[in-house]
Amino acid sequence: MPVLPGAEPFRHEGGEVGVLLCHGFTGSPQSLRPWARYLAERGLTVALPLLPGHGTRWEDLQITGWQDWYAEVDRELRALRERCAYVFVAGLSMGGALALRLAARHGDAVAGVVVVNPAGKVHGLSAYALPVARHLVRTTKGITSDIAKEGVVELGYDRVPLHAAHSLRTFFRRLDVELPQVTQPLLVLRSPQDHVVPPADAARILGRVSSLDVTEVLLEQSYHVATLDHDADRVFEESFAFIGRIAPSVGKEGTAAGG
Q: Mind listing the pLDDT tens digit for each residue in 149-192?
A: 999 999 999 988 988 988 999 999 999 999 999 999 999 999 99
pLDDT band for 133, please (50, 70, 90 cuts): low
Q: Is the pLDDT of residue 134 over 60?
A: no
The 3-state DSSP class for residue 112 equals: strand
Q: Reply yes or no on whether 93 is catalytic.
A: yes
Q: Reply yes or no on whether 224 is catalytic.
A: yes
Q: Which of 31, 146, 167, 194 is catalytic?
A: 194
pLDDT at position 204: 96
Least confident stretch, 53-67, 122-136, 188-202, 234-248: 122-136
Amino acid code (one letter) for 131: P
Average of per-residue pLDDT across 27-42: 98
pLDDT at position 127: 61
Neighbour tally for 13: CB within 10 Å: 10
- More confidently predicted of 126 and 256: 126
Reported as a single tens digit per residue, the pLDDT across 71-85 is: 999 999 999 999 999
- More confidently predicted of 87 and 254: 87
pLDDT at position 254: 42
pLDDT band for 256, please (50, 70, 90 cuts): very low
pLDDT at position 198: 93
Average of per-residue pLDDT across 125-132: 58
Q: Which of 211, 224, 230, 231 is catalytic?
A: 224
pLDDT at position 220: 97
Query: In degrees, to the nearest 5, what angle opens at C-alpha 68 toward C-alphas 104 and 165?
Result: 90
Closest CA to 255 of 246, 245, 167, 244: 244
Average of per-residue pLDDT across 194-209: 96
Neighbour tally for 116: CB within 10 Å: 35
Q: Is the pLDDT of residue 148 over 80?
A: yes
Closest CA to 244 of 42, 20, 104, 57: 42
Q: Is the pLDDT of residue 106 over 90?
A: yes
Q: Is the pLDDT of residue 110 over 70?
A: yes
Give the chain's mean pLDDT: 92
CA 198, 202, 204, 206: dihedral to nearest 10 degrees?
A: -160
What does 67-101 look like in DSSP terms, one character per residue? HHHHHHHHHHHHHHHHH-SEEEEEEETHHHHHHHH
| Residue 105 to residue 128: CA distance in whole angstroms | 28
pLDDT band for 248, please (50, 70, 90 cuts): confident
Average of per-residue pLDDT across 38-53: 97
Q: Is the pLDDT of residue 251 over 70?
A: no
pLDDT at position 136: 57
Q: Is the pLDDT of residue 15 over 70?
A: yes
